[in-house]
Structure 1
Amino acid sequence: MIYKNFQGEKLSALGLGCMRLPVLEGNDARIDETAAKEMVDFAMAQGINYYDTAWGYHEGNSELVIGRALASYPRETFFLATKFPGYDLSNMDKVEEIFEKQLEKCGVEYFDFYLFHNVCEMNIDAYLDEKYGIFPYLVEQKKRGRIRHLGFSAHGSVEVMKRFLEAYGSEMEFCQIQLNYLDWNFQDAKGKVELLKEWKLPVWVMEPLRGGRLAKLTDDQEAKLLALRPEEKIPAWAFRFLQTIPEVTVVLSGMSDFSQLTENLHTFETEEPLEEQESEALLKIADGLLGGTLPCTACHYCVSHCSQGLEIPKLIALYNEHCFTGGGFLAPMALSAEPQEKQPGACVGCRSCEAVCPQGIKISEAMADFAEKLKG
Structure 2
Amino acid sequence: MIYKDFKNKKLSGLGLGAMRLPIVEGGSDAQIDEEQTARMVEYAMDHGINYFDTAYGYHDGQSESVMGKVLSRYPRESYYLATKFPGYDLSNMDKVESIFEEQLKKCGADYFDFYLFHNVYEKNIDPYMDEKYGIMEYLLKQKEAGRIRHLGFSCHGRYDTLKRFLDTYGKELEFCQIQLNYLDWKLQDAKAKVDLLNEYKIPIWVMEPLRGGKLAVLSEENTEKLRACRPDENIPAWGFRFLQSVPGVTMVLSGMSDLEQLMENTATFAEEKPLTAEEMEVLTEVADSMLDILPCTACRYCTSHCPKKLDIPTLLSLYNESRFNTTIITQMAVEAMPEDKRPSACVGCRSCEAVCPQMLKISEAMKDFAEKLEQPAGL
**CA deviation string 1:161-212 (max 9, x = no partner):** 1111111111100000000000111111111111111111110000000000
Change over 3 Å in CA distance of 1:116–1:38 after alignment to 2: same
Change over 3 Å in CA distance of 1:232–1:126 after alignment to 2: same
How many residue pairs get aligned? The number is 374
SS in 2 for 1:271: coil
SS in 2 for 1:130: coil
SS in 1 for 2:170: helix
**Aligned equivalents of 1:8 and 1:83: distance in 2?**
22
**Aligned equivalents of 1:322 and 1:187: distance in 2?**
11
**Aligned equivalents of 2:126 and 2:4: distance in 1?**
34
Alignment of 1:1-376 (within 5 A): 1-24=1-24, 25-290=26-291, 292-325=292-325, 327-376=326-375
**Aligned equivalents of 1:331 and 1:359: distance in 2?**
24
Q: Is the 8 A contact 1:122 1:335 kept in 2?
A: no
**Aligned equivalents of 1:298 and 1:282: distance in 2?**
26
Q: In the TM superposition, what is the alpha-carbon distance from 1:375 to its structure 2 partner? A: 2.3
Counterpart residue identity of residue 11, structure 2: L
Structure 1 gaps of 5+ residues are none
**Aligned equivalents of 1:307 and 1:107: distance in 2?**
56
**CA deviation string 1:261-301 (max 9, x = no partner):** 010011000100000011111111111100x2222222212
Q: Is the 8 A contact 1:322 1:330 kept in 2?
A: no
Q: In the TM superposition, what is the alpha-carbon distance from 1:246 to its structure 2 partner? A: 2.5
Counterpart residue identity of residue 126, structure 1: P
**Aligned equivalents of 1:375 and 1:48: distance in 2?**
40
> What is the aligned-residue identity percentage?
64
Structure 2 gaps of 5+ residues are none
Q: Is the 8 A contact 1:241 1:274 kept in 2?
A: yes
Q: Is the 8 A contact 1:193 1:247 kept in 2?
A: yes
Q: Report the aligned-residue RMSD.
A: 0.9
Q: In the TM superposition, what is the alpha-carbon distance from 1:322 to its structure 2 partner? A: 1.7
**Aligned equivalents of 1:299 and 1:217: distance in 2?**
34
Q: In the TM superposition, what is the alpha-carbon distance from 1:26 to its structure 2 partner? A: 4.9
What TM-score, normalized to structure 1? 0.98
Q: Is the 8 A contact 1:83 1:114 kept in 2?
A: yes
**Aligned equivalents of 2:357 and 2:231: distance in 1?**
41
**Aligned equivalents of 2:296 and 2:29: distance in 1?**
37
